[in-house]
Amino acid sequence: MKPITFFISTLAVAAVLTGCQGGYSKNPPIRVHQNMETQPKYKPQAQGKALSDGGVYKTTSTMQAPVAGTVARGEQRSDYEYYNGMSEQGDTVQINPVAITPELLARGGERYTIYCAPCHGGAGNGGGIMVEHGYVKPPTYHDTRLRTERDGHIFTVISNGIRNMQGYKTQIPVADRWAIVSYVRVLQRSQNAVATDVPEDKRESLK
């Protein structure tokens, strides 16, 4: 047989064989290269034999409690005042620790409209739509007492609630709570402004 004929015949046989699927088998396919598809690992809720050592692991379950002191990535929260609105001694923060920017105020206004305005009203005067439906009217932000309160006090009230108000720390992230604090200050300033708050070149338009 000529080499060329043998070569073509071999290719033809190989092509035919590649189309053969073979018989049905319940066994998993043989894979020469696993490509990390099979890994030595425990699945959730499974039983782990190596964990029943009676030491660190108290049960044979693969669902183990985190080691004491474990901190999730991004949740170290080393800045106590930023995350709690008060010092470790319990004194509320005097001034918002976040830099005030137009973007921050815009974010605060958006979050305020969602979470606060239904009760406190768009202007912060306590005239929200929930009051019209029988809820207790909250105090106005423009009261002297609240205008002179520390920023940390407003933050902790948003976080933990006060009297009839529930806390929102599970719904509103820390950064957004500080943004709302800044927006509340904007509302207070808007209703209690004086002429000197207006830029000098704009004052003539107010007369």
Q: How many CB atoms lie within 10 A of CB 68?
A: 5
161 strand-pairing partners: 166
Coil/strand/helix, residue 47: strand
User: Shortest CA distance to 98 belongs to which of 206, 160, 25, 173?
Assistant: 173
**Residue 171 CB coordination number (10 Å):** 13
* Res. 9: pLDDT tops 70: yes
Decide if 184 contacts 124 (C-beta within 8 A): yes
pLDDT digits (tens, 9 = 90+) for 91-140: 888 899 999 999 999 999 999 999 999 999 888 888 888 888 888 888 88
Query: pLDDT tens digits for 56-104?
Result: 555 667 777 777 888 877 777 778 889 888 888 888 888 999 999 999 9
Nearest Cα residue to 177 out of 162, 158, 164: 158
- Tell me how far apart the alpha carbons of residues 195 and 85 are, in angstroms, rounded to a whole number: 32
* Size of the chain in residues: 207
Helix, strand, coil shares of the chain, percent, nearest 5, are 45, 5, 55
Whether the full predicted model's pTM is greater than 0.85, yes or no, is no
